[in-house]
Amino acid sequence: MRMNPPHAMVDASQQIVVVITPNWTSTTGGMQRFERATPTSDWRSLDSAVPVVVGRTGIAWGVGFDGVSAEGPHKREGDGKAPGGFFPLDTAFGFAARDSMRTVRLPYAELLATTDCVDDVASAHYNTVVDKASVPRVDWNSAEHMRAVAQYKIGVIVGYNAAPPVKGRGSCIFLHIWAGPDSHTAGCTAFDEAKLRDLMMWLDPTKRPLLVQLTANDYASLQVRWRLPAVERPG
């Protein structure tokens, strides 16, 4: 069987969100949005880099990218690291009702009091966002109660470690509102609410949007191979 090249998802995309951190243990970085008219067009930057925060212990290679480089850690459940690599941005979420978010083109999930993101590796629902009121059996002992997290007022689910998830390689990865430029996350990527809202409105599922998240050195070494745009390096 002929395998797709590792950058096939990038080749098919017309929207990418690039997050660059200075190194593996940095908890801050910069984000730029890029788009192109067709999958064979040149990438065009939409803005200058805006500040973001990532996991409390930095970033690590995510599932599917373990063999990219001999350098850098590998993402594990509970390690406080955001995943490195590239991943689909496939679903938006928030506290508001769907009817009030009609300008969001991604599928949208309204967070309810019963909405959980399951991080229990023993659960059949590991690494999925579910309404615990509508499943036949709650088989998890650990989950994020998403409606109770103020920073989840709006956000985007990162399609990391999905379909099917690899147990123990990390779960519940989102783009969400930060608690400020000196904050960090448990493994997500977070930034200013107004910038996040702009990004949510911009994302178009027909353009196969991706999050590309790497250290500055790894981005530089992979840019040509993965056919990525030139970016502003974080300070």
Per-residue pLDDT for 233 more than 70? no
* DSSP, res 226: T
Residue 4: per-residue pLDDT: 53
Is the Cβ–Cβ distance between 154 and 200 less than 8 Å? yes
Give the number of C-alpha atoms closer than 13 A to the C-alpha of residue 84, restricted to the C-beta side: 31
143-160: burial string, b at 16+ Cβ within 10 Å, e else = bbebbebebbbbbbbbbb
Is the Cβ–Cβ distance between 98 and 154 less than 8 Å? no
Task: Give mean pLDDT, residues 63-87.
Answer: 96
Task: Give mean pLDDT, residues 78-95.
Answer: 97
pLDDT in tens, 160-203: 999 899 999 999 999 999 999 999 999 999 999 999 999 999 99
- Please give the Cα distance from 208 to 39 (Å, whole number): 10
This prediction has a pTM of 0.95
